[in-house]
Amino acid sequence: MTTRIRLCHLYPDQLNIYADRGNIAVLRRRAERRGYELEWIGIGVGEALAPDCDLIYLGGGQDREQALIAPDLARRSDEISSALEDGAALLAVCGGYQLLGRGYRDRSGVEMPGAGVLPLETVAGDRRMIGDVSIDCELDPGEMLTVVGFENHGGRTLLDPGAIPLGRVVHGFGNNGESGFEGCRLGKAIGTYLHGPLLPRNPWLADWLLGQALARQLGEPPELEALDDELEYEAHAVALRRARVRGGKFR
């Protein structure tokens, strides 16, 4: 019997501007090549999170789209937290990342409520942070790997004391251009500003998410069959070169 991974995609019609469907296509294809089935479930405003969710995904959106879904997402705090406690994994990108914190204050001073799932808050800055990024990331103890992507955000995200970042910035800005941190990690939940999309150029990260999602059903992450990722790592190398040239080394 084929193991099915249930992926709940929150607000696919509003938070969808940063190639988010590309991330999901990567997850589906990499799962299928290992003999797993990925079931995509779109969750709109007012719709309940599907039961037995293995992986939750939130994409990016402009301030207008974020404002449209923020109240609904804020009401989901317990729902999302319960899914994480039940073993679900989570990936939130850019706008979705911001609103999983306690909230986001835009440039006009409007406060958008957040879900309060991640230990952070975000306020808009005076200029956008745009460019190629590379970070050092250690999701599994003792295994430091590089994540590459592209950032384009006006928000300045501040992690709470003791909160765990996704990684340390090598090139680019990261959460706010000052702390040297990028993203946030809480157990199996990851929030990040990196898109472009993220997962095609970081196949090991896609596999980490798949393994964590499967662990909800299997008890622990399975040993995933190695795939031919030559093209993926060529794309990773190109993005890393761009980050070194364009992104600038973090001071």
Task: Cite the active site residues.
Answer: 94, 195
The token pair at 39 is 């079931």
167 contacts 202 by C-beta, under 8 angstroms: no
**Which alpha helices (DSSP H) does 91-225 contain, by range?**
95-99, 203-218
DSSP-assigned beta bridge partners for residue 181: 168
> What one-letter code names the amino acid at 211?
G
Question: In this structure, how many other beta carbons lie within 10 angstroms of the beta carbon of residue 2?
Answer: 7
72 torsion bin: left (phi>0), alpha (psi -120 to 50), beta (else): alpha
Give me the residue label for tokens 């472009």: 196
Spatial separation of the C-alpha atoms in residues 166 and 122, rounded to whole Å: 16
DSSP state of 172: S
The token pair at 66 is 């974020």
> What one-letter code names the amino acid at 13?
D
Q: Helix, strand, coil % (nearest 5) of the chain?
A: 30, 35, 35
The token pair at 89 is 């994994």
Spatial separation of the C-alpha atoms in residues 137 and 134, rounded to whole Å: 9
